[in-house]
Structure 1
């Protein structure tokens, strides 16, 4: 019999929601999720930060979907509908903490996070270590409360430092994006994958996905599809190539699959598009 994999959770709930402090810890924990384990859609009444130690999943907030992998974290803001789910094949293992307070939003902004930029990258082990230290403080007294608050400041400070360093690398990000766009421009006509592009430019696939979507506004896969479809339109407008020949020319070996993608993007089949545009 196949043994069912269940979530492993270790957490501490501090049961103190006194928001008259600058920062106030609510809860923190560690969780190894089972396949496709999810939460939501729903809202929280406090700030909640997850940091993925390994595995991957998806996160949806403000009608935007993010694919989150190891060494990435995501922010849930109060009173905002969100949803997150572990991957089917590589379910994530993450740590989390929830907090609020008079200065909570200010410190979140200083860390470079907000509802429109809820994902961050952190390469070190400090965030996980801080959560483990927090969990160990199960007895809440005045001394441990000060230690908890100190750990919370450290947690946010590490994220803020990483985000500040990341801003300093903005030129490097632009370089990576340009390399990716150039690669697509010169290779769209053959079978290429996002993994191949990320390997070519020398970035982790998840990190590449994140910075590409943040800079360009769409995922790398979506950009590649749009680029190929636009190239197909140019060929239909300026050549006598058949639909099958155009499909092969823009990287799709299956003309039927190409036609389905084309209709999804343009609202017309390739043949109807050609008739409408140039009356052929």
Structure 2
């Protein structure tokens, strides 16, 4: 669980660069989010404690004063430390020029991790955004201006840490290849044995590497991809449960339904009704 304060925006006036949501949270030990895929960019900045962030098969151990970028359509997972659970603030944004502005900061691609020294100033800006939580033309423009101010502060205080995990630990390339294979094939009835064969290592060794770099087993990662896709299809299509199961790599719809309920805490039909 986490103690959180969140602002979510459902309408927008701007298209090139705009705020989607923001907030801050104090997490309990081992509180986690994901595996999940976001439709927009999200920046997290750690204000206290420690945790880990996993993206693209790479795991980063992070602490107070650091931050991380979540890119659109990339599956990620992050979790608070057991002994020093983190607190963080986050801001989600999108737009036709969002990628360009991130590149101006040196963020994107392999550069997802950064250090930031002006956290108190960013805290004030985030609170200003959250306080403008009602709809008005004035608040729309003010929230937009605060978003640009956040980027202005980051531009002068952010130090990107380019972490080439493959160079530091060659074993990580197996994980990256496995993650790419899963993301390209999880809609098919692939098994962990197929993934291990593709990468060229044993199932046991692949399991060990995934626990080290991703924080979960290959099977759990594969299931996470499939359940994320299943939830999306339940929300935006009228496909039957049987058709969705097949679309997520399950030939047995009962197996899909059982795993979906275990993962999501509700049946597929209940999820569709609530979403």
TM-score, normalised via structure 1 length: 0.56
Distance 1:160 1:214, change over 3 A: farther
Match of 2:242 in 1: none
Match of 1:31 in 2: 25
Query: Shift of residue 145 of structure 1?
Result: 0.8
Whether the 8 Å contact between 1:51 and 1:127 is mirrored in structure 2 is no
SS of corresponding position for 1:85: strand
Query: Shift of residue 14 of structure 1?
Result: 1.1
Match of 2:117 in 1: 123
Alignment deviations for residues 101-151 of structure 1 (CA, whole Å, 9 cap, x no partner):
111111111111003101111112222221111111111211111111111
Query: Shift of residue 161 of structure 1?
Result: 1.8
Match of 1:142 in 2: 137
Distance 1:88 1:215, change over 3 A: closer
Alignment deviations for residues 168-199 of structure 1 (CA, whole Å, 9 cap, x no partner):
xxxxxxxxxxxxxxxxxxxxxxxxxxxxxxxx
Structure with the greater relative contact order (CA < 8 A, sep ≥ 6): 1 or 2? 2
Match of 2:168 in 1: 218
SS of corresponding position for 1:117: coil
1:14 to 9, 31, 50: 9
Alignment deviations for residues 43-76 of structure 1 (CA, whole Å, 9 cap, x no partner):
0000011000000100011111111110111000
Match of 1:233 in 2: none
Give runs of aligned pairs for residues 80-159 of structure 1, distance below 5 A.
80-124=74-118, 125-159=120-154
Answer with 1 or 2: which has the greater Rg.
1
Give runs of aligned pairs for residues 42-81 of structure 1, distance below 5 A.
42-81=36-75
Whether the 8 Å contact between 2:45 and 2:88 is mirrored in structure 1 is yes
In structure 1, stretches of 5+ residues that fail to align are: 1-5, 168-209, 223-263, 265-280
Partners of 2:94 and 2:166 lie apart in 1 by 33
The count of residues paired between Structure 1 and Structure 2 equals: 170
Query: Shift of residue 217 of structure 1?
Result: 3.8
Give runs of aligned pairs for residues 143-222 of structure 1, distance below 5 A.
143-163=138-158, 166=159, 213-214=163-164, 217-218=167-168
